[in-house]
Chain A
Amino acid sequence: MSPKNSEIKVSLRNLSRHYGNVAALHDFSLEMTTGEMVSLLGPSGCGKTTVLRILGGLDPQHGGRIFVDGEDITGSTSDKRNMGMVFQAYSLFPNMTVAENVEYGLRVRKISPEVRRKKSMELLEMVHLSHRPNAYPNQLSGGQQQRVALARALAIAPKVLLLDEPLSALDAQVRVQIREEIRRIQLETETTTLFVTHDQEEAMSVSDRVGVMNAGELEQIDSPAALYNKPKTAFVASFVGVTNKIPGEIDGKGRVRVLNQKIDLSKNSRSAQEGEKVLALVRPENLEISSEFDTDAQPGLVITKSFLGPLTKLGVDLGTENLVYINMTSQEARKIDVGNRVSVKITSEELMVANV
């Protein structure tokens, strides 16, 4: 899933935007290479949609500059940017048929009717809707409408494709199907794409790189695997994937004392003073559970057991404020039941810590 080439297509430099005294975006910079699909992920209000709308020319920025193909487009309006956009809300023009919607951008560009028709049929074929060119939007399902919106956005051969949570209004099964279609089409057309979503599974599964945003700033941008395995901040570690927050304490050698173990601090973790109370961030797959007593492990009681297909998730009470969750294969989990006494051990060699 690597980018097609390393040529810089989009460069957002030091963007900022505020609403009154609230900074929606602060000194935000991002570069995208040609044909790359970058997702912006983050909680509501973190500024991810603001970035997309600024790039699309729909909202102004209060600072910073935007370059596409090396050209400064900071001051240009949305109709001059040639960026296709798919919105969260259904945005097909209700008075136009499917084909007319797809052809709209081409008609604006005064392309001949024959070429328009040919292009729209090609795109409808691509989104598997070539059998419904004369349907009106109100005759289509939500998933079909978003596929038409995607075809319409691609019809103008956009410099950048902007996807603003296009799947959030769809049901779970259709979401998975359409996100895979989006990725297939994006790879086929080699369109540089910025995808905004709050669903981490969605972002991780289709993107070349994922940027995690928090409070108007980009915390980390990396490949999905690097983001999950090597988070650079406590926020990323706790936001991406499931993370247990287990109380611990820093010892004299700069290690964290947690669950009867002493583990080195990750180099990405914030520094901490001796004796400081912290929360150790531990992934469920980095915890080992055993029904036998172990002096190096923490004893606990199994409270919940959730079957997830090949994996089973156990919730264990270790005497901490919250249950600690552990993933194990469903086959191994057969030996353990709710109410069993167990020992829990951390298997990772280094940990990140967050404030209590």
Chain B
Amino acid sequence: MKNKILSISRYLILAAGLIFFVFPVASAVEFSLRSYGNKGHTFANYSWIFQQDDFFTNITISLKLAALSAIITLLTVVPAVTFLHLDGQRFKRIFEFLAILPLVVPVVSLAIGAQKAMPSFIQNSQYELAFFYVVIAIPYTFQSLNVGLSSIPLKTLVEASRSLGASFGRTVISVIVPAMRSAINAAIFLAVTLSFGEFTLTSLLHWETFPVWITRVSQGNVLGSIALSMFSLLGAWTLLILVQTAQNVRKKRSLKSQIEENEEALV
């Protein structure tokens, strides 16, 4: 009886969760397919997106900024957290404090301060945004890398590699990066998604990226703006599914090799 109640309550919670998640999305999809004047459902709002002159310009710049943010994260945050785990335990508290700062500093202060701090040749380029995006994403990318690396005996792996005669460069390529792959993937995914969706800071600095453009055009076409939001959501999900699929393929390969090994052992 107790198990039955537990089972029913489990399904009820799952159903509630699904309704909470699916209902708004389904409603938004339905809304985005409506036509003005209530003349049935149509894909006109989605085709409208691609007819906008600035669509490709803005999505391209957002994608470039996201890619640049990912590269800067790879070149700065990843080495910093790696250092922290290899030889910088004494700096752990300072790192953790610095990593949380972007969450407590208001975006307005960050925008003005960071803009002033930038060298003038970068201030005039939209690509300066990538540096700010990296800073905004640090609380998440740092934590993701920090937790990921805590589960790996990184220092021991490096020492093992070095004692076997590998140079530090070779150790980085052959041991550190592959061991950290999942943590790095997660950090890059976070950096890309946060960069791709950032609105406030970009808007305050008067640059136009995809999210800023969506806000602007939505003022003239409500149904089109919902279609745009759904389009963005679909983009994020596609990325998520691609990452998940890649991980599943690796897991399946590993499982397949394990099964083959066991079969060989039995023979």
Give the contacting residue for A134; candidates B152, B160, B261; CB below 8 A. B261
Q: Does B157 have its Cβ within 8 Å of any Cβ on chain A?
A: yes
Give the contacting residue for A89; candidates B156, B257, B258; CB below 8 A. B156
CB <8 Å contact, A93 and B163 = no
Interface size on A, residues (CB 8 A): 36
Give the contacting residue for B156; candidates A87, A132, A138; CB below 8 A. A87
What residues of A have a CB within 8 angstroms of the CB of B153 in the complex? Answer: 89-91
Q: Does B7 have its Cβ within 8 Å of any Cβ on chain A?
A: no
8 A Cβ contacts from B211-242 to A: none
- Assess A85 versus B265: contact at CB under 8 Å? Given A79-B167, A108-B166: no
Give CA–CA (A283, B27) in the complex, Å. Answer: 83
What residues of A have a CB within 8 angstroms of the CB of B181 in the complex? Answer: 95
Q: Does A136 have its Cβ within 8 Å of any Cβ on chain B?
A: yes
Give CA–CA (A58, B156) in the complex, Å. Answer: 10
CB <8 Å contact, B159 and A78 = yes
The residue in chain A whose Cβ has the minimal distance to the Cβ of B265 is A131
What residues of B have a CB within 8 angstroms of the CB of A138 in the complex? Answer: 254
What residues of B have a CB within 8 angstroms of the CB of A56 in the complex? Answer: 163
CB <8 Å contact, A91 and B152 = no
Give the contacting residue for B166; candidates A79, A90, A136; CB below 8 A. A79
What residues of A have a CB within 8 angstroms of the CB of B53 in the complex? Answer: none
What residues of A have a CB within 8 angstroms of the CB of B254 in the complex? Answer: 136, 138-139
Q: Is the interface of B mostly helix, strand, loop or mixed?
A: helix
Q: Is the interface of A mostly helix, strand, loop or mixed?
A: loop
How near does chain B come to A159, taking the closest CB pair, in angstroms? 12
Give the contacting residue for B165; candidates A90, A149, A156; CB below 8 A. A156
CB <8 Å contact, A78 and B162 = yes
- Mask, A105-146, CB within 8 Å of B = 1, is 100110000000000000000000001101110110000000
CB <8 Å contact, B161 and A85 = no
CB <8 Å contact, B162 and A91 = no
What residues of A have a CB within 8 angstroms of the CB of B163 in the complex? Answer: 56-58, 78-79, 81, 83-85, 153, 162
8 A Cβ contacts from B145-177 to A: 152-153, 156-157, 159-167, 170, 174-175
What residues of B have a CB within 8 angstroms of the CB of A319 in the complex? Answer: none
Q: Does B63 have its Cβ within 8 Å of any Cβ on chain A?
A: no
- Assess A87 versus B265: contact at CB under 8 Å? Given A82-B165, A94-B152: no
Give CA–CA (A138, B254) in the complex, Å. Answer: 10
Q: Does B179 have its Cβ within 8 Å of any Cβ on chain A?
A: yes
- Mask, A67-82, CB within 8 Å of B = 1, is 0000000000111111
The residue in chain A whose Cβ has the minimal distance to the Cβ of B163 is A85
- Assess A91 versus B156: contact at CB under 8 Å? Given A79-B165, A156-B164: yes
Give the contacting residue for A139; candidates B167, B178, B258; CB below 8 A. B258
Give CA–CA (A42, B175) in the complex, Å. Answer: 33
What residues of B have a CB within 8 angstroms of the CB of A78 in the complex? Answer: 159, 162-163
What residues of B have a CB within 8 angstroms of the CB of A87 in the complex? Answer: 156, 159-160
Q: Does A262 have its Cβ within 8 Å of any Cβ on chain B?
A: no
What residues of A have a CB within 8 angstroms of the CB of B264 in the complex? Answer: 131
How near does chain A come to B91, taking the closest CB pair, in angstroms? 17
How near does chain B come to A200, taking the closest CB pair, in angstroms? 25
Give the contacting residue for B159; candidates A81, A85, A104, A152; CB below 8 A. A85
What residues of A have a CB within 8 angstroms of the CB of B179 in the complex? Answer: 93-95
CB <8 Å contact, B261 and A105 = no
8 A Cβ contacts from B113-168 to A: 152-153, 156-157, 159-167
Q: Does B96 have its Cβ within 8 Å of any Cβ on chain A?
A: no
- Assess A108 versus B170: contact at CB under 8 Å? Given A79-B163, A95-B178, A135-B258: yes
CB <8 Å contact, B260 and A134 = yes
Give CA–CA (A134, B254) in the complex, Å. Answer: 10
Give the contacting residue for A135; candidates B166, B167, B170, B261; CB below 8 A. B261
- Mask, B164-199, CB within 8 Å of A = 1, is 111100100011001101000000000000000000
- Mask, A225-269, CB within 8 Å of B = 1, is 000000000000000000000000000000000000000000000
Give CA–CA (A131, B262) in the complex, Å. Answer: 9
* 14 cross-chain CB contacts under 8 A: A58-B159, A78-B159, A78-B163, A79-B165, A82-B165, A89-B153, A90-B153, A93-B174, A93-B178, A134-B257, A136-B257, A139-B258, A149-B160, A153-B163
Chain B positions near chain A (C-beta within 8 angstroms): 152-153, 156-157, 159-167, 170, 174-175, 178-179, 181, 254, 257-258, 260-261, 264-265
New A-B contacts (7) at CB < 8 Å, excluding given A93-B157, A108-B164: A57-B163, A78-B159, A79-B165, A91-B153, A91-B160, A93-B161, A94-B178
In the A-B complex, the 8 residue pairs with the closest CB atoms: A105-B164, A95-B178, A91-B160, A85-B163, A78-B162, A108-B165, A91-B156, A89-B153
